[in-house]
Structure formats: structure tokens, C-alpha cells
Amino acid sequence: MTVSLSLRTVLAIVLALAAAADFAISIAVIYHLHRYTLPTWRLANILALAYLALSLALFAAALLFLLRMPPEIRIETPLLVIPPL
């Protein structure tokens, strides 16, 4: 038995996982810069906001690319693959 998934669906799942990972990394960077740098160092605040803005811009670009992809591209994948013994 095979499952037919569109490439758009597969890329949406990958994009969601990548966005979640990127969000976690950007939150970790922001926390690290605010926690372990001097509070008076304004560059830490600027770098944290710039990193978050870059993360959101890349996510928006990937989302726009995904929305412009034609939905008729399909992937045929087996539902359960049991390797031979």
C-alpha cells in the first residue's frame, strides 16, 4: 500500500519543522545575548532583534516559495517499508 503525498504537503511539513527549530535557536540566541552580555551593551539588543528579523524574513520567503509551487507535483511513497531479512 502506498501513500500519495503532494510535494507541497511534504515541503509544508519540512518548513514547519525548520521554522520551529529556527524559532528555538533565535530565542536561545536572544536569551544568551540578554543574559550573558552586559545590560548596557546596546549592540546585544540590536544583534538579537536583527537575528530575529532575519529568521522571520527567511521564513516568509520560504512560505512565499511554497505558495507559488504548483500543487500537481506528487510523490508516491510506500506506507510501510519492511526490509528483507
- pTM across the whole model: 0.54
Q: Does residue 47 belong to any structural domain of this protein?
A: yes
Would the pLDDT of 80 be above 60?
no
75 strand-pairing partners: 5
Domain that holds residue 30: 2-70
Q: Does residue 85 belong to any structural domain of this protein?
A: no
Q: Does residue 44 belong to any structural domain of this protein?
A: yes
Task: For residues 58-76, give the mean pLDDT.
Answer: 72
Q: Does residue 62 belong to any structural domain of this protein?
A: yes
Length of the chain: 85
Residue 4's φ and ψ, nearest 5 degrees, are -100, 115
Would the pLDDT of 67 be above 60?
yes
Q: Does residue 29 belong to any structural domain of this protein?
A: yes
| Whole-number percent of the chain with pLDDT over 70 | 69
Amino acid at 26: S
Q: Does residue 84 belong to any structural domain of this protein?
A: no
